[in-house]
Chains A and B, each alone.
Chain A
Amino acid sequence: MGRPVSLVRRSLLARLTGRRLVASSLGAVTGFVFLALYAPILLVAVLSFFRLRRGKILWDSFSFQWYAELLSNRQLAEALTSSLVVGFFSVLVTLVLATLMAFYTDRQDTRWTLALRFVIFLPFLLPPIITGLSLLVFFKEIGLSRGLITVIIGHSVFVLALVYQTILTRLQALSRTLVEASQDLGATRWQTVRFVLLPNLRMALVTASLLAFALSFDETMITLFLVGDNATLPVRLYAMMRVGFTPEINALVTLILLFSTLLTIGIARFVGRDAGAQVGL
C-alpha cells in the first residue's frame, strides 16, 4: 500500500514544483521586461545630476547645473513653444472633427461610414514614415510650404483615430433612451447635443484631449518630414542627439519624461473615473 501513495505524493510534489518553476520563470521574464523598459530611462535621469568621466559617474559631482543651463537655452525654449502651439491646435482640430464624426457614425453601419472609419484609421495603422512622406509630397504639390501649419495637419491626421475611437466608445455606451427622451420633450437636435450628449461625453473629451496632446507632444517621425524652421521639441532633440551626448540633453529628457509620466497617470485616472461613471449610470 505504501508504494502507490508515495508515488502519488511524488508526482504531486513534482507537479507543484513544476508549477512553481513555471510561475517563477514567468516572473523572472516579467522582471526582465520591466528592467529593460525602465533601466535606460532611469539611468538618464540619474546621469542628469552628475558629471561623467569616461562613462564613469563621478558620484561627488551632484548638482542642478545642467538644469540651470537648460533655462538659458533659447533654441529649446522656442522648440517648446512650437510643441505647445502644435499640441494645442492639433487637439482643438481633432476634438471638433472627431466629435462630429462620432455623432455621425454612431450606430450607423452604411458603406460610407465604414469607408470613413477605414480611412481615419489608416494613418494610425500604417508606418509613420508613410503618413509623413505622403503628406510631404502632397504639400509640395499644392504649394504649401513647410511650417507649423503642416505639422499641425500631420499631427491631427495621426491622432484623429484615437480621439474618434475614445469619443465613439463613450457615445455607444450611452443609453439610446437619453436621446429619445430629449426628443420627446421637444428639444431640437442641437439642444439634445448641447444639453444631453456633450455633458455625458465630458470625461471622454478630456481623456481624448490628454491622449492626443501626449501623442502630439512626442511625435517625431511624421514631424521630421513636415517641419520647417520652427522645430518642435522632439525634432530639436533629434538634432542635438545626432551630434552626441551632452548632460544638458539628459536634464531635458528627464523633465520631458517626468511630464509624460504625469500626463499618462492623469489619463489613467480619468479613464478609471470615466469607467466608474459608466458603471454608475
Chain B
Amino acid sequence: MSGPGLQTTAAERTRERGAELLRLALIFGLPAVFIVIPLVTFLIYSFWRVEDGQLVREFGLGNYVEFLRSDSYRFVFGRTLFMSLQVTAINLVLGYAAALFISQRRGRTKYLMVLALIVPLLMSYIIKIYAMRGLLGTNGQLNQLLMAIGLLSEPSDLFLFNLTAVRITLSVVLLPFMILPIFVALERIPASFLHASADLGASPWQTFRLVTLPMSLPGAVAGAMFCYVLASGDFLAPELVGGTRGFTYGRAVFSQFGMAFNWPFGAALSVILLGVAMSVILLAGRLARSRWADR
C-alpha cells in the first residue's frame, strides 16, 4: 500500500509549496522591489553628490547644507508652503459649503451632483491646467468677461504667468479632492442625530455647530490633507501657468532632473518635501482621530 498514492501526494505537496512560495514572492517581493527599494535608493541618493558631472557615491550632508544656506531655495520653499496653505484655506471654505449644499439635496439631483464632481477628478490633470491657462490669459475669457461687465477697461495680465495664476489653477483642480471627503463625512451623519437635535430645541445653527460640524471634521481634515500635499508637490501647474514669476518648489526639484542635472541635490530637495508631506499626513491622521472621533 505504500506505493504510488502516497508519492503523488508528496509530489503534489511539493508543487503546492512551490506555488505558495511564488505567491508570497509576488505579494511581498514586488512591492518591496518597486516601492520600498526605490524610496530607499532615493533617500541614499540625497546624501551623494555630483562633481564635474560625475556621481560621487559618498555619504555627506552637503546637499542639505546647501539648501539651508541658499536664500533663494529657502525663499521658494517657504513661499510654496504658504501658497499651498492659501489654496487649502480657500478650498476648505468653498468645498465645505458645496459639500454641505450637495449633501442636503435628495435622490437624483444629489447623485448627479456627486457624479459631476467625480468626472473632473478622472479628467486629465494636464488638460485641466491647459484649460485654465486659456481662461486666465491676457486674451482669455476671464479678461473678456471682466471687461464686458465694466470691471476692467483693458485686458490685464494679472491672472497669468504669476503666482496668482498658480493659486487659482491649483484651487480649481484640487476642489474635488476637498469636496468629496467632506461630502462622504456629512453623508455618514445619521439623520436621527439631526432630528434629535432639532427635537431637543436646538436652532439650525446650533445643530450645525454642535452636531454636523464636529462630525464632518474628519472629512474636512482628509480633504485639507489631500489639497495641501498635492499643492505643495505640484510642478505641472506652476510650469504651465506660473511663468517666471510663479516659480515654486516643485519646479525647483523638477529642474534638477532636467537642465541642472544635479540628481542628488534634487533628491535632497524632494526628501525635504517628503518630510513635509509625511508630517501633514501624520498630523491629519492624529487630528481626524483624537479630538473629534471620540466624542
Instruction: State which of A63-71, A72-80, A214-222 sits at the interface with chain B.
Output: A214-222
Known A40-B134, A129-B273, A241-B240; judge A112-B122 contact (CB<8 A). no
Q: Report B-chain residues with C-beta under 8 Å of the C-beta of A55.
A: 137-141, 143-144
Interchain CB contact under 8 A, B233 and A116: no
Chain B nearest Cβ from A227, distance in angstroms? 13
Known A34-B116, A130-B270, A253-B130; judge A29-B97 contact (CB<8 A). yes
Q: Decide yes or no whether A87 CB sits under 8 A from chain B.
A: no
Chain B nearest Cβ from A172, distance in angstroms? 18
Within 8 A of A (CB), among B99-129: 100-102, 104, 113, 115-120, 122-128
Interchain CB contact under 8 A, A33 and B115: no
Interchain CB contact under 8 A, B94 and A29: yes
Interface string of B183-194 (1 = CB under 8 A from A): 000000000000
Chain B nearest Cβ from A232, distance in angstroms? 11
The complex places the Cα of A86 from the Cα of B161 at a distance, in Å, of: 33
Instruction: State which of A2-10, A97-105, A173-181, A200-208 sits at the interface with chain B.
Output: A97-105
Interchain CB contact under 8 A, A133 and B253: yes
Within 8 A of B (CB), among A3-46: 15, 19, 22-23, 25-27, 29-30, 32-34, 36-41, 43-44
Q: Decide yes or no whether A135 CB sits under 8 A from chain B.
A: yes
Known A137-B45, A218-B124, A264-B118; judge A104-B270 contact (CB<8 A). no
Q: Report A-chain residues with C-beta under 8 Å of the C-beta of B81.
A: none
Give the residue of A32, A116, A125, A220 whose beta carbon is less than 8 angstroms from that of B126. Answer: A220
Interface string of A215-257 (1 = CB under 8 A from B): 1011011000100000000100110011001000100010011
Chain A nearest Cβ from B108, distance in angstroms? 12
Q: Is the interface of B mostly helix, strand, loop or mixed?
A: helix
Interchain CB contact under 8 A, A116 and B28: yes
Q: Decide yes or no whether A141 CB sits under 8 A from chain B.
A: yes
The complex places the Cα of A152 from the Cα of B28 at a distance, in Å, of: 19
The complex places the Cα of A129 from the Cα of B254 at a distance, in Å, of: 8
Interchain CB contact under 8 A, A119 and B32: yes
Give the residue of A30, A104, A234 whose beta carbon is less than 8 angstroms from that of B102. Answer: A30
Give the residue of A25, A26, A119, A249 whose beta carbon is less than 8 angstroms from that of B130. Answer: A249
In the complex, the chain A residue whose C-beta lies closest to that of B137 is A55
Give the residue of B26, B95, B135, B253 whose beta carbon is less than 8 angstroms from that of A40. Answer: B135
Interchain CB contact under 8 A, A215 and B122: yes
Chain B nearest Cβ from A103, distance in angstroms? 9
Chain A nearest Cβ from B121, distance in angstroms? 8
Interchain CB contact under 8 A, A263 and B120: no
Q: Report A-chain residues with C-beta under 8 Å of the C-beta of B239.
A: 242
The complex places the Cα of A140 from the Cα of B122 at a distance, in Å, of: 31
Known A37-B172, A120-B35; judge A44-B131 contact (CB<8 A). yes
Chain A nearest Cβ from B127, distance in angstroms? 5
Give the residue of A54, A129, A218, A237 whose beta carbon is less than 8 angstroms from that of B253. Answer: A129
Interchain CB contact under 8 A, A44 and B134: yes
In the complex, the chain A residue whose C-beta lies closest to that of B139 is A55
Interchain CB contact under 8 A, B27 and A136: no
Interchain CB contact under 8 A, B141 and A137: no
Interchain CB contact under 8 A, A127 and B273: yes
Q: Decide yes or no whether A195 CB sits under 8 A from chain B.
A: no
Q: Decide yes or no whether B176 CB sits under 8 A from chain A.
A: yes
In the complex, the chain B residue whose C-beta lies closest to that of A140 is B263
Q: Decide yes or no whether A191 CB sits under 8 A from chain B.
A: no
Q: Report A-chain residues with C-beta under 8 Å of the C-beta of B144.
A: 55-56
Interchain CB contact under 8 A, A116 and B94: no
In the complex, the chain A residue whose C-beta lies closest to that of B230 is A127
Q: Decide yes or no whether B70 CB sits under 8 A from chain A.
A: no
Known A130-B270, A130-B277, A138-B42; judge A220-B236 contact (CB<8 A). yes
Interchain CB contact under 8 A, B94 and A33: yes
Q: Decide yes or no whether A126 CB sits under 8 A from chain B.
A: yes
Interchain CB contact under 8 A, A116 and B120: no
Q: Report A-chain residues with C-beta under 8 Å of the C-beta of B27.
A: 97, 100-101, 104, 116
Within 8 A of A (CB), among B22-55: 23, 26-28, 30-32, 34-39, 41-42, 45
Q: Report B-chain residues with C-beta under 8 Å of the C-beta of A268.
A: 115, 118
Within 8 A of A (CB), among B232-286: 232-236, 239-240, 250, 253-254, 257, 263, 266-267, 270, 273-274, 277, 281
In the complex, the chain A residue whose C-beta lies closest to that of B231 is A127
Chain A nearest Cβ from B102, distance in angstroms? 7
Interchain CB contact under 8 A, A127 and B229: yes
By Cβ-Cβ distance, the 8 closest A-B pairs, closest first, are A55-B139, A127-B233, A40-B131, A138-B38, A134-B42, A134-B38, A29-B97, A26-B101
Known: A19-B204, A221-B234, A265-B115. 7 other contacts (CB 8 A): A40-B135, A40-B172, A43-B131, A55-B144, A129-B233, A220-B125, A237-B124
**Which residues of B line the A interface, CB within 8 A?**
23, 26-28, 30-32, 34-39, 41-42, 45, 94-95, 97-98, 100-102, 104, 113, 115-120, 122-128, 130-135, 137-141, 143-144, 171-172, 175-176, 179, 203-204, 229-230, 232-236, 239-240, 250, 253-254, 257, 263, 266-267, 270, 273-274, 277, 281
